[in-house]
Structure 1
Amino acid sequence: MWTSCSAAAPSSRTERRPRTSTIDGGHVFELAPEEQAIVDVVAEFVDEQVRPVVRDLEHADTYPEALIGQMKRLGVYGLLVPEEHGGSDVSAPCFALVTEQLARGWMSLAGAMGGHSVVAFLLREFGTDEQRRRYLPAMATGELRATMALTEPGGGSDLQAMRTRARADGDSYVIDGVKTWISNARRAGLIALLCKTDPTADPPHKGVSVLLVEEGHEVSKDLPKLGYKGVESCEVVFDAVRVPRSGVLGGAEGAGFAQMMRGLEVGRIQVAARALGVGQAAFDDALAYAQQRESFGVPIWRHQSISNYLADMATSLRAARLLTLDAADRLQSGRRADMEAGMAKLFASETAMKVAMDALRIHGGYGYSTEFDVERYFRDAPLMIVGEGTNEIQRNVIARQLIARDRGSDAG
């Protein structure tokens, strides 16, 4: 575990902000030494413990209990938890780079801590003192794992059209509704639920709250998936589930939509970083294969068509990493980062999909074989295009912020 690293970290989050540096050896931001050590530890974990076993686990669609256990011991689940509650409280760029390393080994591992980290951020930024004390220490160790529930079967990315309701009843709320595509739903002991506490509010987002749900809900089914194996994605039913009034994030109704939109800035940076990890793994495999495989008497990288693929793949990944770290740095500064996070998620996910496809092309027939990892990258990459708000939605977010900022407002 990197306890010594986090213990040595300065107390001020601003002091730990990474410094931009000359691009060299793939590093586009220079992390503080203690944060770089965390990234290095996770990279070593991926190389030594994840990559040797991931193919068998993924093909069997087996929950990676041993790997998750090691992630807990390393401190991965406490990356965004304040030190006073037992976490590491790393910078947003460090969090992104750790996520990339996990996804480089297996995208599902990054997914296993993604929603949990968003909930930790929400509690850190908006939770009451009691909510922080109640949840964050156990979340830091992974003893308590959290997830968020936004998407509904008929709503998709249109969150304001949600039908899940929480009706006030004495000192409780009574929740009715259905959420879908909820990752880690069977293993989460805490759900940050986005729902309507005032369906008559005008505008509608003023009637939305985040409720912290610990029990009473039912996981009705697991959803079969093309990729993202090992970690469950579920439909969750809330049928007259009671939550105490103290379960409203921040203690006051009506702030949930704004709270979750801020949380989704973290989520979209995390998804962009996942895409980077998948894309980097695909590129690494393609680069190695292009040097080993020969045709017409030379390694295939010497053929211009293959070398062009490699050059474009590396260039796109470098650009995607810059966008992702730029968005993370803006989030770290406390500024609104929805446009930057949307740009990073959009570009990184599209890059991962193209890099995976080009890696498959470079491998030829072997790229289509389940004996090589390339086919897994090709199945995992699309999730980042449609997850955490589809890329079509990201373009809408980007366009609205372009207009708002052109008019001198960050309000959008």
Structure 2
Amino acid sequence: MVLGRFTSGSTYVSEQGLENLKLYRYQSVDLSWTTHYVLRHYWNWCVTLFPRWMAPNLITLVGFGFVVGNLALFLYYTPDLTGPAPAWLYFSAALGMWLYSTFDNVDGKQARRTGTSSPLGELFDHGCDALNCSLGGLLQAAGMGLGHSWYSVGIIFCTSLTFYLSTWEEYHTKVLFLGIINGPTEGLILACVLMALSGVYGPQIYFENAHASFGSWLAPVVPPHYRVIDCLIVLLFLGVVLAHAPYCLTAVHRVCVRDRKSYTLALAELLPMALFLSCAYLWLASPDSYIFTHQHLALFIITVGIAFGRIATKIILAHVTLSPFPWFTVQMIPVILGAALTNLPRWLGQAPLLTPHSEHTFLWACFVFASVAYVHWALFVIDRFCTYLGIRCLTIPQAPSAKSK
């Protein structure tokens, strides 16, 4: 059985978009030495452990479940995101993130192995990756004991921005490109190592003085008051600004020049993400917001993360259906509204509109709205794909003939 039959699915995927699925060709380039010399052999072995009846999308979903499950445990044991939590939980989080990465790379191999490759596979895979930018980032923050702080926000903002840029680049170049050092490979390995170190030494190690931890050789480049976490955040930020973003910008520029398209218009497609991040920042930074002081950051991150998941996945949907770039999603409205409610009164010289209780209630309402809207949209799109392609999302009804992606 396909995930239900929804006649209004055409609202999200046009008939022409479905027709364009015939032109779909998955293309990717991974220059990582870690992948080439080590991990590809590991993934080729791992895929043999999965039964042939297990659908690739189910592998993706189970892998994402490791992240969600460990995050739920952290929110139970350390709702302040600081801890310390039981040592086993940090190792569980590191293992869960590693299994997520493994399953995320094995699903495509399983698709080719079982002859079930389809455009839905890329959409489903990258859709889970988009959600993982926030949920996995929140798990990372909890695993390092960063608490309800700007450190946690910084990790999630940087992760989301890099994913958006890569998705925007793929929309224009039609190729998923991963560099010699990239987030899905080396970045996830580092994330696993950092959480495992929290299990060995405790998360407080990231708040120790960097010079005391690593030695005086840091003196020429690191301020004396910097802690370990400060160095990690700066390195993450520099990686985005000096490496990842410039490559994405130049790659899209080359394609626009080659195809004689407007690079200015392509750059304008970054504005939705700029608006989204700006509103999220303004909401958090407002003196009339209580998200940090009353420890509501986890709920905030999950809510805006769901909204970001739809923003990014709509670009992937446009990519596989050769549709126009999606400029807006309704799930951006709560973030924009939250920024307005917490800042406009102060800017206009009026009394705050929100109290700690009313902001918390509003945040829960935003979460419910974002979740329902996301699930509604996802089921409609999945059903449209399954109906048109004659496939199932989470099961393999029969052994299909072998075919390549």
Range of TM-score over shorter length? 0.3 to 0.5
TM-score (norm 2): 0.34
Q: Which has the higher contact order (CA 8 A, sep 6+)?
A: 2
TM-score, structure 1 normalization:
0.33
Higher helix share: 2
